[in-house]
């Protein structure tokens, strides 16, 4: 399902369930040594998906460690993103010469828990949600907003090394095209000297009881 949102240069893999008693990949066991069983299962399956996606790039299986902010550490020359929620795990990867950064996210297609929406909306988001809900009241747009901002953050962080709060980006959503644009409300300066990020665009899909979103930032032309 996630592949429908990604360009051809991005490779992905997904799973709708876990393999019972699957052990951690060598070199990753310590990362979940104290995790509860549900967390262990999603970690193991999502990283198995990541290795499957890396294999589609022609790369060998390797441990995928975590950085200081729990971000996955990809092999040199690779960018990627992981996601997991109830009933779904996925990974997407690409070569850094073709994609500068990417972010994917999946959420159950249902209302956000009480009190969460207020912490997700930025100035302008409430009007966007009202507008799209008028045209399609069956879609849980608050959940989609949440997922889109998760994908935006996952694409933002590797390029800036900084936190991006839900309140730091407001979204435009095009329900017909199934796309969104996140307008950043904070400076998007990048340590590598590349032009600052001002807006990130992505796409979404609602299917199989899930909301799936993706943001892909192309690498600069060589």
CATH number at residue 197: 3.90.470.20
* Residues paired with 165 in a beta bridge: none
Look at the alpha carbons of 41, 47, 49, 55 in this order and tell me if their dihedral is positive or negative: negative
Six token digits for residue 136: 């399609």
Domain that holds residue 107: 2-218
pLDDT of residue 39: 96
pLDDT, mean of residues 33-56: 97
pLDDT, mean of residues 91-103: 98
Q: Count how many domains the chain has.
A: 1
**How high does pLDDT run on average in the chain?**
97
What is the value of pTM for the model shown? Answer: 0.96
- Say if residue 177 is exposed, middle or buried (CB neighbours under 10 Å; 0-12, 13-18, 19+): exposed
How far are the Cα atoms of 2, 22, 32, 147, 220 from residue 48, in angstroms, in the given order?
Answer: 16, 10, 14, 22, 30
pLDDT, mean of residues 146-158: 98
Answer yes or no: are the C-beta atoms of 67 and 73 closer than 8 Å. yes
pLDDT of residue 119: 94
């Amino acid at each position: 399902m996630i592949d429908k949102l990604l360009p051809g240069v991005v490779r992905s893999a997904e799973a709708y369930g876990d393999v019972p008693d699957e052990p951690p990949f060598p070199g990753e066991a310590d990362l979940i040594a104290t995790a509860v069983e549900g967390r262990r299962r999603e970690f193991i399956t999502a990283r198995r998906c990541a290795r499957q996606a890396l294999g589609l790039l022609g790369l060998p299986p390797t441990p995928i460690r975590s950085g200081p902010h729990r971000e996955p550490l990809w092999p040199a020359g690779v960018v990627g993103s992981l996601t997991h929620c109830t009933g779904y795990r996925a990974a997407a990867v690409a070569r850094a010469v073709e994609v500068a950064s990417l972010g994917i996210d999946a959420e159950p297609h249902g209302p956000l828990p009480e009190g969460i929406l207020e912490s997700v909306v930025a100035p302008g988001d409430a009007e966007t949600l009202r507008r799209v809900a008028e045209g399609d009241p069956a879609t849980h747009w608050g959940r989609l907003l949440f997922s889109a901002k998760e994908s935006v953050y996952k694409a933002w962080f590797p390029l800036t090394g900084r936190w991006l709060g839900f309140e730091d980006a407001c979204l435009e959503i095009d329900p017909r095209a199934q796309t969104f644009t996140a307008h950043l409300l904070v400076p998007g300066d990048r340590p590598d000297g590349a032009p600052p990020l001002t807006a990130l665009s992505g796409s979404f899909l609602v299917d199989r009881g899930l909301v799936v979103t993706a943001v892909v930032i192309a690498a600069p032309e060589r």
